[in-house]
Each structure stands twice: as structure tokens, then as C-alpha cells.
Structure 1
């Protein structure tokens, strides 16, 4: 079972993005996950981690929910 952490920037208003990603991940992988956590951050952060490994970082990639789900899938399936 994997754990997912979605760290998002509160001052930037990224909560809606975080909730959208959380919902998409839960719909796809609910039976394969131990926990999905939202972590409040700042300084423009938007990072998704699977078992403490970064699979998406807004600083490196464009925001695309489908792509984030694919990245999560590749890590969850490997477990």
C-alpha cells in the first residue's frame, strides 16, 4: 500500500488544484492506497509525492491532472 502526499501553496490559492488531484487519485487507486494527505505550504509549491518520492513538481512540469495520475500509476503499480 502506498501513501500519497500533495503539498500545495496556500497563499497562491492552490487548494482547488490539490483537491482535484486528490479526487482523481482516489478514484483511480483507492484500493491500493493507505493514505492521501494534503499538506499546506507556501512559496508557490505544488508537489505530489508517492511514498516520499516526488512524482510531480510544479517547478519542473506543467499542471496536468491526467499526467499526474499517470505518474502516480507508474509508482503505485511498481509496488
Structure 2
């Protein structure tokens, strides 16, 4: 069974549109890997938690910020499809010495 991603957001904070945007981006990127995305209004003020099948991937209160969409795609990919290439949204590859590869 494909995993379901849950975005729990604070409706009093006006974060529904942010949640919907992130859901759209994730559904577009992970069309074949996700069962779906659930937008869940939270009863807890200030809540913005992203989880996959009950496992928290990102919590705004823990991080003190919202995730960048590139970062969120990487976090989700690492859980549901570690081998998936995210193209321009992927992490830069570094050599063992910490330097980035040169463009050829």
C-alpha cells in the first residue's frame, strides 16, 4: 500500500493555502509514490506538522520555521522513495572532501 502524507495545519493562523500549495507540489512530484495527501485542520494553535503514515517528517514548532518546498520534497523522498531523483530540487552532491563537483 502506498503511504498517505498528512499536513496538519492551524486554520486560525490562515495556513490552509500554504498547506494546499505544499500538497499540490508533493502530489505532482510523487504521483506514483503517494496514495494521497490529507489536509487536516488542527485544534492546536500554531500547528503545522507534516507526517507520513503517522511518522513526523517536519514540525514547524520544532524547527521554528516552515519548510522550503525543495527541503520538504527531499524529506518526503528520503522516506517514501530514497532512490528517486528530484532533478533540480535534489540535494547537491559533494565529494568526500566536502567540495561540490565541477560542471563539465
Establish whether TM, by shorter chain, passes 0.5: yes
- Please give the root-mean-square deviation of Cα atoms over the aligned residues, in Å: 1.1
Q: 2:77 aligns with which of 48, 73, 76?
A: 73
Query: Hey, which of these two has a bigger chunk of strand by percent?
Result: 1
Q: Deviations over 1:21-40 (max 9, x none)?
A: 10110011011111210000
Paired position in structure 2 for 1:45? 47
Q: Unpaired segments of 5 or more residues in structure 1?
A: none
Larger Rg: 2
Q: Per-residue deviation at 1:54? A: 0.3
TM-score normalized with structure 2 length: 0.70
Q: Unpaired segments of 5 or more residues in structure 2?
A: 83-104
Distance 2:77 2:53 in 1: 12
Structure with bigger RCO (C-alpha 8 Å, 6+ apart)? 1
Q: Is the 8 A contact 2:57 2:76 kept in 1?
A: yes
